[in-house]
Amino acid sequence: MTASLRRIGVLTGGGDCPGLNAVIRAVVKTAESYGLEVTGVQDGFHGLIFGPAHPLTSQDVTGILPRGGTILGTSNRDNPLDYTWEENGELRHKDMTDQCAANLKNWGVDAVVFIGGDGSLTVSQGLAKKGVLSVGVPKTIDNDLGATDQTFGFDTALAVATDALDRLHTTAESHHRCMVLEVMGRNAGWIALESGLAGGADVILVPEIPFDMEHVAAKVRARVAEGKKFSIVVVAEGAAPRGGKQVVQRVIATSAEPIRLGGVGNQIGQQIEDMTDVETRVTVLGHIQRGGSPTPYDRILATRYGVHAVELLVAGQFGRMVALKGTEITSVPISEALNNPRRVDPDGDMVRTARSLGISFGDRT
């Protein structure tokens, strides 16, 4: 074990997702097995900039394995590399990494486990330049981080979306309607693709495959002509028409990710109804996908990630992200994960499988 390692910090950054508490629990219990103390940073990077932080023991993490969310709290508005706030009607920017490094030193934290997506891992790299030692744990329901086969949180979000499609099927068939389900997925359509396959969708629209509404409408009309009086369409929030743009719900200038997508489902639903005369209803899952108890798979994956993160710190292997390769937990340089985002391959096996089943991606008839 690295001689100077006595206390580690743990932080959950970005949006919440099922499995965060499982990681925290694994980090604390594993650290204690090595005789290490743990400090939990409250409210993500906001807490790293301004505090507070507090000790975490095995007593604090008892019973949190099945809980959604994060007992530490989180924030996706506070980027230490470019902290932004509004003052007298103007946006102000400041690099707060020196303050973060000073806080960690004052708290007696020797190294940090950053649990987050690409934004959090990017911050960890910036803090490394200030001497902050760390490892990363990949978290995102979008499953879009490169260099790992799967991020925790995705399986739970997928299960929620699939359950929603199962429920929409029954009412769609009863009322002879087209049901549109909008799911999360800014630039990666994994939730839409896999839930669409698992939930028997007729049309799947993802960011990686620009769609044409004529093709979408043609699929719905074709089902009607075949005597199938209902259709199921699942669309990722980041899907966009060929030559068009993503639908932006709002812009939050002070956020690290100012663009908030949303509304593409309603647009598509209205166009389907106008173009086919099939009554259409739209459901937006939104944050329901992020909430609730993690699936057994996510609990196990998150736990394995947390254990391995501590083992990396103990071995002095800093600047790395834990990763799943096949069935084994390993690690990769954080830069590798950030440089290779995981996207749906338009010509990949899963898309080919869907097309073989007659599922439309809105790009061809």
Residue 335 lies in a domain: no
Q: pLDDT grade, residue 254 (50/70/90)?
A: low
State the total domains in the chain.
2
Indicate if 145 and 266 belong to the same structural domain.
no
125 and 208 share a domain?
Answer: no
Mark whether 196 and 301 lie in a shared domain: no
Range of the domain at 87: 7-152+294-326
Q: Which amino acid, residue 268?
A: I
Give yes or no: residues 148 and 162 share one domain.
Answer: no
Two tokens, residue 97: 């990494």
Residue 1: inside a domain, yes or no? no
How confident is the model over 230-255, as a mean pLDDT? 87
Predicted confidence (pLDDT) per residue in 93-135, tens digit: 899 999 999 999 999 999 999 999 988 999 999 999 999 999 9
Give the pLDDT band (50/70/90) at residue 2: low
For residue 70, is it within any domain?
yes
Catalytic residue, chosen from 16, 43, 118, 142, is 142
In the prediction, which pLDDT does 64 show?
A: 97
Residues 272 and 257 in one domain: yes
Q: Which of 170, 168, 177 is nearest to 273 (CA)?
A: 177
Buried b (16+ CB within 10 A) or exposed e, 290-312: bebebbebbbebbbbbbbbbbbb
pLDDT tens track for 287-337: 999 999 999 999 999 999 999 999 999 999 999 999 999 999 999 999 988
User: 174: exposed, middle or buried (C-beta count within 10 Å: 0-12, 13-18, 19+)?
Assistant: exposed
Return the percent helix, strand and coil in the chain, to nearest 5: 40, 20, 40
pLDDT tens digit sequence for 129-182: 999 999 999 999 999 998 999 999 999 999 999 999 999 999 999 999 999 999
Residues 29 and 133 in one domain: yes
Comparing 136-145, 255-264, 333-342, the range with the smallest average pLDDT is 255-264
Of the candidates 24, 342, 18, the one whose C-alpha atom is nearest the C-alpha of residue 9 is: 24
Q: For the domain that residue 31 is a member of, what is the CATH number?
A: 3.40.50.450
Q: Residue 84: its pLDDT value, please?
A: 87
CATH code assigned at 209: 3.40.50.460
Q: What is the pLDDT at residue 262? A: 81
The residues with which 111 forms a beta bridge, in sequence order, are 8
**Rg value, the chain, Cα:** 22
DSSP E strands, 57-107: 83-87, 90-94
Same domain for 161 and 144: no
Burial tier of 343 (Cβ tally within 10 Å: 0-12, 13-18, 19+) = middle
Q: What are residue 134's DSSP bridge partners? A: 112
User: Position 355: which residue type?
Assistant: R
Q: What is the pTM of this model?
A: 0.93
Shared-domain flag, residues 35 and 112: yes
**362 within a domain of the structure (yes/no):** no
Residue 247, domain member (yes or no): yes
Q: Span 184-204, mean pLDDT?
A: 97
Residues 140 and 45 in one domain: yes
pLDDT of residue 251 exceeding 90, the answer is no
3-state secondary structure of 61: coil
Q: Residue 14's closest CA among 49, 43, 55?
A: 43
339: in domain: no
pLDDT band at 340 (very low <50, low <70, confident <90, very high): confident
Residue 124 lies in a domain: yes
Domain shared by 206 and 262, yes or no? yes
Q: For 75-98, what is each residue's pLDDT tens digit?
A: 888 899 999 888 888 888 899 999
Mean pLDDT value across the chain: 94
Q: State mean pLDDT over 214-224.
A: 97
Same structural domain, 213 and 352? yes
Tell me, yes or no, whether 302 and 270 share the same domain. no
β partners of residue 9: 39, 112
What's the distance, CA 153 to chain centroid? 7
Instruction: Give yes or no: 142 in active site.
Output: yes
- How large is the average pLDDT for residues 270-288? 96
- Starting from the edge strand earliest in sequence, which strands make up the sheet with 178-183, in order? 203-205, 231-236, 178-183, 280-284
pLDDT at 362: 97
Residue 234 lies in a domain: yes
Segments in 180-324 forming alpha helices (H): 190-198, 213-225, 264-276, 296-314
